Structure 1
Amino acid sequence: MAAITEKTARAYNDLVEINETGAKGYQEAAEGVSNPQLKSEFTQLSQQRAQFASELKQHASQYGIQTEQEGTIEGAVADAAAAVHRGWINLKSAITGQDENAILGEAETGDATALKAYETALSAEGLPQDAKSLIQQQHGQILAAKNKITSLKK
């Protein structure tokens, strides 16, 4: 097994945090819309992000990376949480106003933030090939979701 670098460990931690936050954000979005199609879409995306986080945790553990231990890598989780928070910050106000287009816009912003984190992770030095494959696959699915969310905006 290849030696895991700090950048690889940080990539896993960041992506787990981003997906856990995305799952919560999409669940809140599902609860904040009345349109059954959007509610279903957001619920599916919430489940998808929860699954991504689970896959990443399981994968990281194969390399001895503990994704649940916050602060183990110089603020990695804090940085990821801050970026994700910026990506989903206005979701609550959009939900409060029940503005579906605004909720879609905030979901789109959250996905854009996630995509940047995935691209950063893919550039990490020493990323094992199987990790790169998993991250690329998830990146593709998030990109497809973002494109679908964009198409749903009025």
Structure 2
Amino acid sequence: MASISDNTARAYNDLVEINETGAKGYQEAAEGIKNPQLKSQLSQFSQQRAKFASELKQQASQFGINSEDTTTVQGLATDAAAAVHRGWINIKSVITGQDDNAILGECETGDKVALEAYEQALKAEGLPAEAKSVIQKQHGEILAAKNQITSMKR
């Protein structure tokens, strides 16, 4: 097996953290949404992000990366992870107003920042082809979710 670079390990850890945060954020958003169809869709996105985190943890483990080491985030990836976290934290304040469009806007922002983190991860030095494939697939699904969120806003 090829040696995994620190950048690749950080990319995995960042993406796991971003997806775990996104899963929680989408669940909170679903709880705050009035529209039953939107509530269901946001719950599905929450489950999707939890699945992504699980897939990344499993693959990281195959490469000998301990994805539980959440303190390895550095550089631009730190900024991205922090921004995603702040974005999903902001959703709590929006939910208290019970405005579906505002909640969707926060979801859209969270996905935008997650996409940037995925794009950064794809640039990681020494990223194995199979890792790149999984990350590209997840990036595409997050992009589709973001586009769907955008279209759901009134």
Asked if 1 retains the 8 angstrom alpha-carbon contact of 2:27 and 2:46, the reply is yes
Q: Which residue of 2 aligns with 1:44?
A: 44
Q: Which residue of 2 aligns with 1:25?
A: 25
**Counterpart check, 1:145 vs 2:145:** yes
Q: Structure 1's 6 and 53: CA in aligned 2 closer, same or farther, altered over 3 A?
A: same
CA-based RMSD: 1.7
CA shift, 1:81, in A, is 4.0
Q: Which residue of 2 aligns with 1:8?
A: 8
Q: Which residue of 2 aligns with 1:125?
A: 125
Say which SS state the counterpart of residue 2 (structure 1) adopts: coil
TM-score using structure 1 length: 0.94
Unaligned runs of 5+ in 2: none
The alignment-based identity, stated in percent, is 74
Q: Answer with 63-72 or 9-18: which moved more.
A: 63-72
Q: In the aligned structure 2, how far is the partner of 1:42 from the partner of 1:74?
A: 30
Asked if 2 retains the 8 angstrom alpha-carbon contact of 1:6 and 1:73, the reply is no
Supply the AA of the counterpart residue of 1:89.
I
Unaligned runs of 5+ in 1: none
Q: In the aligned structure 1, how far is the partner of 2:73 from the partner of 2:105?
A: 32
Q: In the aligned structure 1, how far is the partner of 2:147 from the partner of 2:75?
A: 31
Q: Cα deviation per residue 1:18-68 (whole Å; 9 max; x = unaligned)?
A: 000000000000100121001000000000000000000000000110011
Aligned structure 1 segments of 4 or more residues deviating by more than 6 angstroms: none
TM-score using structure 2 length: 0.94
Q: Which residue of 1 aligns with 2:71?
A: 71
Q: Which residue of 2 aligns with 1:93?
A: 93
